[in-house]
């Protein structure tokens, strides 16, 4: 047992942890990241949003990501009974990047972690946080690894442990999500599609022909593989029987167009399942800690917002924490929680609208005025924090519902 010092201790080296660590290390702080797994490691969440490129640029990581040869992504295509509605990020109303990537997360996350190390952060892999103590003047964090049990003392702890939700669990901050429990069953396939079968530069979201709350994703990668998954209410998943692989192909068969597109596909990794992923917390920060990315909240996979929210939370937290460590007075609620929540509320409204059917009506409405479609496109590209877009923030839900009323077929 030893006491090891750092200015900032980060739990988890996923996108939120690596970006926060890089930003703080670049500012001259001693940052230690403790990561449970050895990298590269699999993670779900492979389709990025264009807005995330700005955040990667801020963290000095965008060139390293571009150099990896990931599949370019320029938008999203929604398919309902053969009707296709495509959003090209070049047509968004907000300024900023109009492209991003579709990334096997093992490689993407390893790239970000290596960049954080290059910028001065220390990362200890295969080191799991097992206990925390916030009772004294400085937090103490206990880890377990092949080196044994260690106690790390720091001025501040950033929890970026994703679905591990380390501080919410250990400090009793967990709160159920207002969204009903849904689940996803997924794998990677060698898709064996022919050139021109579909647009590899777009995530393809296929909606079940009769049940609009069941949908599938197809996220192509640059090596001929693709991530494929089906999202449905938990009971729907539980009703299927057989091996995980059999259940995956049964679930996919319910979406005939995607099943046809993938008729020659072969799975290249074991089928995974995540049930009841939506979660939230009672508070985003406290004395000597803040929660980043999924450690705080996860909404839903449908708009691929998870990594972008994780990076945004890292960017906001690193700025506030940097000032705090330099001795400034800071207000975590006003400078971190409220600005972060502005964009989270945007995505929350879009997710709610997707499942109550109103947003699907907007997406497939053929006679949408061009300026409105550009605003919707902006949010789909991740620009959920653009206060110039009326479909963002706490007003987004009300405005989307009004818009959906205007999108009823005559
Ligand atoms: C079905 C599904 C599909 C999704 N699709 C998308 C998508 O297309 N696009 C998108 O942007 N997002 C997607 N997401 C969300 C995305 O996976 C997450 O939002 C994103 O990975 C969050 O990043 P993070 O840095 O907060 O956490 P993570 O990426 O989960 O990283 C957390 C890290 O912390 C480590 N850790 C955990 N506990 C401990 C501990 N006690 N001690 C030390 N280390 C620990 C973990 O090993 C992990 O490496 C999807 C989610 C689901 C469930």
Averaged over successive runs of 10 residues, the pLDDT of the chain (410 residues) comes to 85 98 98 98 98 98 98 97 94 98 98 98 98 96 97 97 97 94 97 92 95 95 97 92 94 87 96 93 97 96 97 98 98 98 98 96 92 97 98 97 88
Name the residue with the closest Cα to ligand 1, atom 30. Answer: 162
Q: What is the pLDDT of residue 253?
A: 87
Q: What is the pLDDT of residue 410?
A: 67
Task: Convert the chain into a string of H (helix), E (strand) and C (coil).
Answer: CCEEEEEEEEECCCHHHHHHHHHHHHCCCCEEEECCCCCCCCCCCCECCCHHHHHHHHCCCHHHHHCCCCEEECEEEEEECCEEEEEEHHHCCCCCCCCEEECCHHHHHHHHHHHHHHCCCEEECCCEEEEEECCCCCCEEEEEECCEEEEEEEEEEEECCHHHCHHHHHHCCEEECCCCCEEEEEEEEECCCCCCCCCCCEEEEEECCCCCCCEEEEEECCCCEEEEEEEEEHHHHHCCCCCHHHHHHHHHHCCHHHHHHCCCCEECCCCEEEECCCEEECCCEECCEEECHHHHCECCCCCCCHHHHHHHHHHHHHHHHHHHHCCCCCCHHHHHHHHHHHHHHHHHHHHHHHHCCHHHHHHHCCCCCHHHHHHHHHHHCCCCCCCCCCCCHHHHHHHHHHHHHHCCCC
What pTM value is reported for the model?
0.98
Expressed in angstroms and rounded, the spacing between residue 167 Cα and the centre of ligand 1 is 15
User: Of 131, 179, 307, which is best to mutate to test ligand 1, by the most ligand atoms within 8 angstroms of its C-beta?
Assistant: 307
Q: What is the pLDDT of residue 2?
A: 67
104 CB near ligand 1 (under 6 Å): no
Q: What is the pLDDT of residue 375?
A: 98
157 CB near ligand 1 (under 6 Å): no
For ligand 1, what atom is nearest to the CA of residue 307? 11
106 CB near ligand 1 (under 6 Å): no
Q: What is the pLDDT of residue 39?
A: 98
């Amino acid at each position: 047992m030893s006491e090891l010092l750092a200015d900032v201790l980060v739990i988890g080296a996923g996108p939120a942890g690596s970006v926060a660590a890089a930003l703080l290390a670049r500012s001259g702080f001693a940052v230690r990241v403790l990561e449970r797994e050895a990298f590269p490691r699999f993670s779900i969440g492979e389709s990025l949003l264009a807005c995330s490129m700005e955040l990667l640029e801020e963290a000095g990581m965008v060139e390293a990501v571009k150099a990896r040869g990931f599949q370019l992504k320029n938008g999203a295509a929604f398919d309902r009974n053969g009707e296709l509605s495509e959003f090209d990020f070049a047509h968004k109303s907000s300024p900023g990047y109009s492209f991003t990537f579709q990334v096997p997360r093992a490689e993407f996350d390893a790239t970000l972690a290596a960049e954080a190390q290059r910028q001065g952060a220390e990362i200890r892999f295969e080191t799991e946080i097992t206990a925390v103590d916030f009772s004294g003047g400085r937090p103490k964090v206990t880890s377990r690894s092949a080196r044994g049990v260690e106690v790390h003392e720091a001025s501040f702890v950033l929890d970026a442990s994703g679905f591990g939700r380390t501080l919410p669990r250990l400090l009793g901050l967990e709160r159920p999500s207002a969204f009903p429990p849904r689940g996803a069953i997924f794998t990677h396939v060698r898709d064996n599609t022919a050139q021109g079968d579909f647009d590899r530069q777009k995530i393809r979201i296929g909606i079940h022909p009769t049940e609009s709350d069941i949908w599938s994703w197809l996220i192509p990668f640059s090596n001929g593989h693709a991530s494929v998954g089906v999202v449905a209410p938990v009971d729907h998943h539980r009703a299927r029987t057989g091996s995980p692989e059999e259940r995956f192909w049964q679930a996919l068969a319910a979406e005939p167009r995607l099943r046809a597109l993938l008729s020659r596909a072969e799975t290249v990794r074991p089928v995974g399942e995540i049930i009841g992923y939506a979660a939230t917390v009672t508070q985003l920060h406290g004395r000597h800690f803040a929660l980043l990315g999924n450690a705080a909240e996860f909404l839903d996979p449908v708009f691929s917002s998870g990594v972008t929210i994780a990076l945004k939370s890292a960017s906001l937290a690193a700025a506030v924490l940097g000032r705090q460590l330099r001795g400034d007075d800071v207000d975590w609620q006003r400078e971190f929680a409220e600005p972060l929540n502005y964009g989270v509320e945007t995505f929350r409204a879009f997710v709610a609208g997707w499942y109550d059917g109103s947003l699907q009506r907007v997406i497939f409405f053929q006679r949408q005025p061009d300026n409105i479609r550009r605003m919707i496109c902006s949010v789909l590209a991740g620009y959920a924090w653009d206060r110039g877009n009326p479909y963002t923030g706490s007003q987004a839900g009300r405005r989307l519902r009004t818009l959906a009323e205007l999108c009823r077929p005559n």
